[in-house]
Amino acid sequence: MPFRAASGTIEWSIIIPAHNEAARILPFLRSITSYMQDRGQPYEVLVVDDGSTDATASVVETVAASVPEIQLLQTPSRRGKGAAVRRGMQSAVGHLQLFADADGATPIQELARLEQALVSGADLAIGSRSLASRLPDYAVQARLHRTILGNLFNSVVQQSGLKGITDTQCGFKLFRQTVAADLFGVSSIDGYGFDLELLYVAQQRGYRIAEIPVNWSDQPGSKVRVLRDGLAMLRELAVIRRNATKGYYSSPSPAGSFHPATVSQLGLPPQ
């Protein structure tokens, strides 16, 4: 059963960080508006233009002229994906808040899978390519070298204290509004490692995290450079650990406790 917000309020906020995405963002925006209009629930789409030097802003403004639910937020210079997502989340007013990559690698229809996890009691739900790759009814199309390096990166992450999550970097994550306000209120990582910080803090604060398999397809024109950005994320992981030891993330835990999703909950056979 889907969430229902109070009458007159925004139920869904969809945040899209974008840097030089003029060539890729339009089909995804059209897909989002079509899907959300079919759902018939009040929504907003916040595109955060992170210092683009191409026509990203013009493309978004053209669509927004006929779709009032779409808003453009701009920053004068590039700060990083983490900073863009944080600005979008802190500007959002929806009862449920999703951030999604501008290339549409994860189809917006996968939102329903994450929504169901929140209906079942999770505080945040994160898309997972890793779990999906183990299931016959899902399609994950990724280049081999990215898969190999991604697995190595995740191994390091697991050993560094962020345990129980097989895919930290999938750009498709859904939060309850209060959870988003809490996590993004203390987040500080501006680069691609911001996902690591969010999930680390979420675990430390006892939030219930559900990792959900989603369909995903690698899109041409990716801004991520696996080796360069992978090394940068490892440095950001060290910053997260240092922040934790200094107590920057300390806060009374919310009601409930962290319950990592089990394989059976995600449709995988028990191991």
pLDDT at 266 over 50: no
How far apart CA 23 and CA 193 sit, in angstroms, is 25
Quick one: pLDDT band at residue 16, thresholds 50, 70, 90? very high
pLDDT in tens, 209-226: 999 999 988 867 566 665
Quick one: pLDDT band at residue 268, thresholds 50, 70, 90? very low
Of 214, 194, 208, 219, residue with least CA distance to 128:
214
User: Given this model, what pLDDT does residue 159 score?
Assistant: 62
pLDDT at 142 over 80: no
pLDDT at 153 over 70: no
How far apart CA 81 and CA 100 sit, in angstroms, is 11
Average pLDDT over all residues of the chain: 85
Quick one: pLDDT band at residue 263, thresholds 50, 70, 90? very low
7-104 is classed in which CATH architecture? Alpha-Beta Complex (3.90)
User: Given this model, what pLDDT does residue 104 score?
Assistant: 95
Q: Between these two residues, 227 and 116, which has the higher pLDDT value?
A: 116
CA angle 79, 68, 195 (to 5 degrees): 30
Quick one: pLDDT band at residue 143, thresholds 50, 70, 90? low
* Other C-beta atoms lying within 10 Å of the C-beta of residue 247: 8
Q: What is the distance between the terminal CA atoms of the chain, rounded to a whole angstrom? A: 29
User: Given this model, what pLDDT does residue 157 score?
Assistant: 65
Cβ neighbors of 86 (< 8 A, separation 6 or more) are 184, 187, 190, 194
Residue boundaries of the structural domains of the chain = 7-104, 106-170+177-265
Q: Answer yes or no: are the C-beta atoms of 103 and 81 closer than 8 Å.
A: no
CA 47 remoteness from chain centre = 14
pTM of the model: 0.83
Residues of the chain with pLDDT > 90: what percent? 60
207 secondary structure, DSSP code:
-
How far apart CA 205 and CA 188 sit, in angstroms, is 16
Residue 200 is encoded by which pair of tokens? 């680390």
How far apart CA 246 and CA 239 sit, in angstroms, is 11
Q: In this predicted structure, which of 63-77, 171-185, 202-216, 221-235 has the lowest mean pLDDT? A: 221-235
Cβ neighbors of 147 (< 8 A, separation 6 or more) are none
3-state class (DSSP) for residue 51: coil
User: Given this model, what pLDDT does residue 255 score?
Assistant: 40
Quick one: pLDDT band at residue 231, thresholds 50, 70, 90? confident
* Residue type present at position 157: V
